[in-house]
Structure 1
């Protein structure tokens, strides 16, 4: 059985140096073909680009994570210029989206500047013909779907998605992709999403170094965890494990244009 896997969403640059080395040394042992490293801001993008030039298995995306203070217009333009300059070395634009959790902590934070910033990145994704990696959950997700539809962007990857059934239906109809995290082993909300979302629009991720609970308590988040994720997906969907491995692998390679 082909057990090759691809981590479709990891913050590689946020790991400690020894952790990075360990993961890269163990990619073959755990049959990991590639890591898609997303960026949090311009400095993060620069770090990821340097890593990608050094490690062929790391494929990188450049963006501004929304769960942080809004940057200045000048900072946004510096990042967009970096994206333009290095478009041939990046696999996607991301991680970008809307600040759901930040606004939960502080409801006074205005949403409009984040929408404006996100729309710029969506326009860039369309212009450069690159996939876009999205942080858009719960009530933010329908708004992001509308922005994608406005600009006719179809290669959209909603990582660690949570949302209502009507949004899920729209995402399925629009052929957007989701990626499943290791918490599918113990979170009912994620399990329900797996049951309801088509396997041919699904990938797996770690979102490392974000830590997990359950069987992963007190462990460094590692791409090897994706094997447990895939086994759980196969069980939830009642599909042969080999078929799930193959479909998710092919989904990710096709979506991101991996050779």
Structure 2
């Protein structure tokens, strides 16, 4: 049987009814989910889900960058909570830099976000945790420099998009990239998938984020990953069974499923 793991999903963003629908499938091929967090309330909800479905669900704690910065007191509360629950979390994330917010607001200063991300990277090293990164295009170069500065090698760039030089740098440093179901219809993701080392690839849905193409109008579900893997095998011109096995083992190795 070809097993899959969803390496990046926001389970806490699904409604209770949607979670029921999500788990009301034949999940025999799905061996785990990594649910990433958005803020302190999100961290707490993901911990509840991870405890309820242990060890099937693992969680990552952090503060998503595509939102206003937390106040100093909010940040202190978040870091204190994360420290108290660091043995409950598999990774730090989702953290990174606010690329899409800056497209909407070009005057937004990135400096404080960079400082906050560096704090998370230092914690990942201190606590020996992988880090889940939201860093695309020119932001990825800044993030690579921070990871190199702190010798943080266990980095996962989710749904990455960027230039070839940055992609080569990431691959050379041993960083992992995860591919979403839009690999079926987005040429930019297909190009990344063609060039990135197969032993540093994972698969994700980023659910409940909706997809287009063959998935238009559907509730995003981890089982979509089966179609992603079939497309990856075709793009890399590899045997399907090999791609299933390699991506599954990559994710088990990186996150400890």
Q: What is the CA distance between 1:149 and its match in structure 2?
A: 0.5
Cα distance in 1 for partners of 2:20, 2:141 equals: 39
Q: What is the CA distance between 1:27 and its match in structure 2?
A: 5.5
Deviations along 1:58-97, whole A, 9 cap, x unmatched? 1000010000001112211211111111111110000000
Correspondences of 1:1-259 after superposition (within 5 Å)? 2-26=1-25, 28-29=27-28, 31-56=29-54, 57-258=56-257
Secondary structure of 2:122's counterpart equals helix
Cα distance in 1 for partners of 2:4, 2:74 equals: 35
TM-score of the superposition, structure 2-length normalised?
A: 0.98
Number of paired residues?
Answer: 256
Cα distance in 2 for partners of 1:74, 1:145 equals: 28
Secondary structure of 1:87's counterpart equals coil
Cα contact 1:5–1:245 (8 A) shared by 2? yes
Deviations along 1:189-210, whole A, 9 cap, x unmatched? 0000010000000000000000
Spell out structure 1 runs of 4+ moving beyond 6 A.
none
Query: Considering only aligned residues, what root-mean-square deviation do their CA atoms show, in Å?
Result: 0.8
TM-score of the superposition, structure 1-length normalised?
A: 0.97
